[in-house]
Amino acid sequence: MSDSASSAATSPSPEEATFAGGCFWCLEAAFNRLQGVLHAESGYSNGEHPQPDYESVCTGRTGHAEVVRVRFDPARVSYQQLLEVFFFLHDPTTLNRQGNDVGTQYRSGIYTHSVDQAAQARALIEQLSASGVYASPIVTEVAPVSNYHPAEAYHQGYVAQNPYQGYCAVVVAPKLDKFRRTFSELLKPEA
């Protein structure tokens, strides 16, 4: 067996992680820049409406959060590292709000795909809470992922396609610059 065939046979299968932390454009743009992330997709999750879309989610009546579903290679980036990036990218202490984005669709949430993910998320929340890094309590919900739907095509890769759009230039770009400086060792070469 060749080395590449041997390593492919022992490589772990890709995993998924789902995060809600305000507008999905910023989270998607950041996660897509990480080594080991195969794909990050904007979507809606953990609501009641059977077929959510952007317009209905923005009313706040579907119960969905704007989320990013991350497909990743755990041999190249760990779930723990994804959690650390997630907490860096948003304020987990504001209930149903990130900056000027207000509503339940902008809540902070970690929607887990396994019992192990839930345990890791809760452990990090406990650690961050005990550290005093945040002046206010963390309000991030941890729950199993449910009723996930991809967002419309125009939301996918939005920041990359619209870097000069007002929100992207004023809100997302500075956050991504800080993210790149802080997590430079985890970034893909082209990021």
Catalytic residues: 23
Which residue spans within the chain are E strands per DSSP?
15-21, 37-45, 65-72, 97-98, 101-102, 108-112, 141-144, 149-150
In whole angstroms, give the CA distance from residue 119 to residue 116: 5
Considering only CA atoms, which of 8, 29, 55 is closest in space to residue 187? 29
| Rounded distance between C-alpha atoms, residue 179 and residue 187, angstroms | 10
Cα–chain-centroid distance for residue 97?
A: 15
Closest CA to 71 of 28, 112, 115, 39: 39
Candidates 89, 106, 109; CA nearest to 97 is 106
